[in-house]
Structure 1
């Protein structure tokens, strides 16, 4: 087991990793920008190192400074959390070159799954169903038009190195294709430094279903069920639940076994999430995230398995501590992402939290790195906390979520709590009848 883990992240996920390390008796190192000097993960770490000014490029994305922090503190492992460098294959390679363990998959798997075209080709070879689309990147509008007409409109243009909805545009007809292609390429170039795009069939009313997988790099791998992440705005998830209201036990077992078998075949190491669109009883692979997900607590609540502890154990060379037959699913869990944003315009709302009262009680969990008096900086993602509730069934879970949201008080800034209070009273949500387009349509009407 490691002696000291450096946490290359900030906010609630840094604190989450820190807690897992403490339970394993591992010392922790927090890194931070000057804007995060008073952050909770910095206060609670055994050691802390300031690695630069507020821009992420000068701090949390600065590999030489992170490496220097490891050397200064003697950290023998790095946990990247999610975002930032968590899916940067070169970062993983550099750490290994300096005899520092990257708590995550191999750089090879990160690189393969980080390129959307290569990931899709790999999924096909592994027997994972994929969305119909181009075999590779499209090089011209003429090529794009030919492919789109063969598949039929509407089509979705996606950045090969994309994520979070950037570099992603829908063309509903041939007349839309040219501008959609140019816009997607421009966005991809700006966001990822790579304007390569590909085309997929655009599904009309799909659910977004993701399967949590875990492997030990030795050929052992399992799935831990699904999460339904269909409630989205601009391809950004805001609420996740498990099990999905759209799946039955047969569909869950079928797709779970497919991805678990695939992970065994490639000897995948650590936590990963295989994401699908689900429509008319069929699954279509869209991407794989080779890291811990923001919504991982949902899976932890229904399985009782600490995913971060298992990440650390596996990275240190251990075998998976459970087999597929050991995993059982209990009850229902829902997560709401609490963002420092206006609940209608989604404009970021940085500033000082003047009052903080999180909910409590049976089946209620709040993952957050903020506190009363904390000043939210304007430089980073607006996520300030996650409210996770668990119940014996979906109805109990929804009622518990209503109660928990009514107790959650955050003053001094705007948050998305009022939006969740509104959404969980909508019949489509309470009945589980929503798809990935539902929220934007609802917001457009209200």
Structure 2
């Protein structure tokens, strides 16, 4: 087992990893930018190393600084969390070269699954259902036009290096294809330095349902059931739940088997997520694989009583998994609390938290790194907390979430708490009747001044 793990991340996920390491008797090293000097992950780690100024490119993405921090503290492993360098094949390889275990996917695995076009080809070879579309990258607009006509509109253009909705364009008719092709390529080149595109049939009224998998170094994999991530805004998830209200036992078994088949086909090691689009007829199609821990992993932990970070560390240390699949025993919902103003088009709201009162009680979990007096820097993602409620039924989990949100007081900045409070009473959400298009018709009710 590892003696010391460096956490190459910040905020709530860094704190989350530190907690499990402490429980396992493993020493921890926090890294931080000057903007995060007062963050709780710095305070609770055994050691902390400043790796640069606030800009991510000069700190949390600066591989040389992170490797140096690991070497001067004698860390024998690095946990990358999510985001930043968690799916960076070059960083995974550099860790290997320096004799430091990267608690995540191998460089080859990240390359294979990180490029969406090659991932799709790999999944087809594994026999996993894929959305009809181009075989590999599109070579020209003429090829794109011909393929779109053959598949039939609507189609979706996607950047092969994409993420967060960048380089994606839905095209409903041929007249709009050229403009979409040009703008998607420009956006992708600017965001990722790669204008490679592929195309898929646009699945109408889709749900975004992902399957959590764990694979070990012996070629064995298992699944930990599903999470429904369909409530999204601009391809960013807002809330997640498990089990999915759309799920049937038959669909869960089929999707779980497909996800395990995918993981074992590529000999996947570590925690990963196989993401699917599911249409209104419950046909499911492979979308992508995330080769890291997910933001929404706590809801899976809550419904099967399983520490995913612990399992990541165990697998990285060469310990085999049990191989059995897990199914939800309870219902769990996660609300991502962001420092954003939901009444003002979710505009970021960094600044100092003047008052903080956190919710508690049975079945309430809060993953956060903020405290009263903490200043949220403007340099990073706006998520400041994840509020998770767990109960015997979905109805009870929603009622518990409403109560917990009412207790959650954050003053000094704007947050998405009012949005989530309204969502928990939105008839279609309460009925479990939502797709990835849900937010397109969602309107915030008038602000209630307190």
Q: Residue 232 of structure 1 contacts residue 440 of structure 1 at CA under 8 Å; is this kept in 2?
A: no
Contact preservation (8 Å) 2:232, 2:239: yes
Q: Which residue of 1 aligns with 2:172?
A: 172
TM (norm. structure 2) is: 0.97
Give the aligned partner of residue 430 of structure 1: 430
Question: Matches of residues 283-432 of structure 1 in structure 2 within 5 Å?
Answer: 283-320=284-321, 322-324=322-324, 327-344=326-343, 345-432=345-432
Displacement of 1:8 in angstroms is: 0.2
Name the SS of the counterpart of 1:51 in structure 2: strand
TM-score (ref. length: structure 1)? 0.98
Could you tell me whether the CA contact under 8 Å between 2:342 and 2:444 is conserved in 1?
no
CA 1:118–1:60 in structure 2 vs 1: closer, same or farther (change >3 Å)? same
SS in 1 for 2:434: coil
Secondary structure at the aligned position of 2:418 is classed as: helix
CA deviations over 1:152-188 (Å, ceiling 9, x no partner): 1111111101111111111111111111111111111
Note if contact 2:216-2:270 (Cα within 8 Å) is conserved in structure 1: yes
Offset of 1:266 from its aligned partner? Answer: 2.4
Q: 2: CA distance between counterparts of 1:117 and 1:444?
A: 37
Change (3 A) 1:41 1:118: same
Residues 103-182 of structure 1 mapped to structure 2, 5 A cutoff: 103-182=103-182
Classify the secondary structure of the residue corresponding to 2:168: strand
| Alpha-carbon separation, structure 2, partners of 1:378 and 1:259 | 37
1:231, 1:438 within 8 Å by CA — same for their partners in 2? Answer: yes
SS at structure 1 position matched to 2:78: strand
The alpha-carbon deviation at position 90 of structure 1 amounts to 0.8
1:28-63 deviations in Å (ceiling 9; x for gaps): 000000100000000111000000011100000000
Q: What SS is found at the alignment partner of 2:226?
A: strand
Structure-2 residue corresponding to 1:232? 232
Tell me what 2:266 maps to: 266
Instruction: Give 1:18's aligned residue.
Output: 18
Q: For 1:219 and 1:323, how far apart are their aligned partners in 2? A: 10
Q: Separation in 1 of the partners of 2:416 and 2:135?
A: 40
In structure 2, the partner of 1:98 is 98
String of CA shifts for 1:359-401, please: whole Å, max 9, x gaps.
1000000000111100000000000000011010111111111
Whole-angstrom distance in 1 between the partners of 2:350 and 2:258: 43
- d(CA) in 1 for partners of 2:33 and 2:423? 36
Report if aligned partners of 1:32, 1:50 keep a CA contact under 8 Å in 2. yes
Separation in structure 1 between the aligned mates of residue 232 and residue 263 of structure 2, nearest angstrom: 27
CA contact (8 A) 1:157 1:168 kept: yes
Deviations 1:4-49 (A, max 9, x none): 1000000000000000100110010000001000000001110000
C-alpha separation in 1, matches of 2:303 and 2:192 = 35
CA deviations 1:110-159 (Å, max 9, x no partner) are: 11000000000001111110001111211222211111111111111111
* Cα distance in 2, alignment partners of residues 262 and 39 from structure 1: 38
Structure 1 unaligned residues grouped into runs of 5+: none
Q: Helix, strand or coil: the match of 1:108?
A: helix
Q: Distance in 2 between matches of 1:202 and 1:54?
A: 39
Over aligned residue pairs, what C-alpha RMSD do you find?
Answer: 1.2
SS at match of 2:348: coil
Partner of 1:442: 442
Q: Within 1, Cα distance between the matches of 2:217 and 2:72?
A: 30
Q: Is the 8 A contact 2:229 2:241 kept in 1?
A: yes
Provide runs of 4+ in structure 1 moved above 2 Å: 443-446
C-alpha separation between the residues in 2 aligned to 1:328 and 1:286? Answer: 22
Instruction: Work out the CA distance in 2 between the residues paired with 1:55 and 1:258.
Output: 40
Offset at residue 443 of structure 1 (A): 3.5
SS in 2 for 1:170: strand
Structure 2 residue aligned with 1:195:
195
1:2-41 equivalences under 5 Å are: 2-41=2-41
Structure 1 residue 328: Cα displacement? 4.1
Structure 2: 5+ residue stretches without partners:
none
Q: Deviations over 1:299-327 (max 9, x none)?
A: 0011111000000011011111x3315x3
Q: Distance in 1 between matches of 2:127 and 2:441?
A: 34
* Residue number in structure 2 paired with 1:57: 57
8 Å contact from structure 1 (residues 205, 436) kept in 2:
yes
d(CA) in 2 for partners of 1:223, 1:173: 39
Contact 1:231 1:436 in 2 (8 A): yes
Equivalent in the alignment of 1:211? 211
